[in-house]
Structure 1
């Protein structure tokens, strides 16, 4: 798979600057729990028993690599998701680009493996409003599955003067669309999400959001409200 080679190449490129230059390497760790695991509007836990997740990110200048883990339940052997990703975030005028690759792996069921390439751009204003547009492409959804494109637009903004104790409030919204080569395995659909985040300067955050899709008569794609507690340090 061509994207597999691209993932390895990007990881090597991302590691090179940290070794070859004097740039400081920064590490960030995150852990959290949520009432449900929703990804692009799709339920990743059919029993809705909740989610426990965590990840580690390393960055050196504009380069980054990371991993993220979560429990899943698709009604199959898979009960763990392990994501691997790497990329480069150059600044081009007011736009911060994010060019990278991702791998969604499932150790108990390797046939679910998915690779994606990513290109995104973010513009942030002095007031804290952030606008992001992203495009993802995968040559194969799982083993012998269809190729697909996923497009997403997102906005986030602080709520001026809104604070609950040490928690500052911000709002966010996004809309995404998936277009697959064939609808036999993966349906074309549109999803949307609106949320409210309460975060402290010490790295604690509580997220409340609602997400839904335009897919009918499928409980994996039905609308759901989620509460999430996350700690980053």
Structure 2
């Protein structure tokens, strides 16, 4: 059993309890755990939860967990991500976000844990973020991910979300690919509802279109709530 991530979660909890900052937790039920166009649950539902701490200075820490099923012989059933960074604004419209995330997978004989670093910039409704891992999935190879997102208001308090991302680098080699999605969201009471269509260029060598791990088009529904309510 990997104890370091669990210790880190306890430290995060202690910090959340003692620091004068904002603390929240988000619980999400998703019809599929989609990660950059690829299912992480073999297209089955996912239950996800986060604990987030942020200070007025812009520093933040977080822990995020989900069930996983890669459907390729790996034994991982649980993912725990540890996140830390700094976010803020240069002006009212121009913001930044810099940090790292540590992906931890449990019950897996093959160690596929990885660390990614990221740098994001945003201007009004548009955001761009670059992710880089020096040792992606414990492969010894680096990987890049560049994404762009747009979020626009729609009538009746709906939102429109547009996304495109590109995976490249030594880890992907000739299998680098693009993913994209379009979705709508709406807040109803204390719950955030989301529906998006996801697609992308299929990258897996030897994997037929229709396999759970391909980037074939799919629809993902999510319902989430953030605690404490009323904040």
Band the TM-score falls in, shorter-chain normalisation: 0.7 to 0.9
Q: Does 1:72 align with 2:56?
A: no
Structure 1 counterpart of 2:196:
209
Please give the root-mean-square deviation of Cα atoms over the aligned residues, in Å: 2.1
Please list, as runs of the form range in 1=range in 2, the aligned pairs for 1:69-108 lying within 5 A after superposition. 69-75=65-71, 76-93=74-91, 94-108=93-107
C-alpha distance in 1 between matches for 2:153 and 2:23: 25
TM-score by length of 1: 0.80
The residue that corresponds to 2:47 in the other structure is 52
Name the CA distance, whole Å, in 1 between partners of 2:130 and 2:100.
11
Query: How many residue pairs align between the two structures?
Result: 202
CA distance in 2 between counterparts of 1:49 and 1:223 reads 15
Match of 1:123 in 2: 123
Q: Secondary structure at the match of 1:222?
A: coil
How many Å separate the matches in 2 of 1:180 and 1:90? 29
Which runs of no fewer than 5 residues in structure 1 stay unpaired? 1-7, 125-129, 163-167
Moved over 3 A (4+): none
Task: Give 1:107 deviation, angstroms.
Answer: 2.1
Residues 139, 171 of structure 2: 8 Å contact kept: no
TM-score, normalising length from structure 2? 0.81
Deviation at 1:55, TM superposition (A): 0.4
Which SS does the other structure have where 1:210 is aligned?
strand
Q: Which residue of 2 aligns with 1:230?
A: 224
Do the aligned partners of 1:97 and 1:120 also contact (CA within 8 Å) in 2? yes
The whole-number CA distance in structure 1 between the counterparts of 2:140 and 2:197 is 29
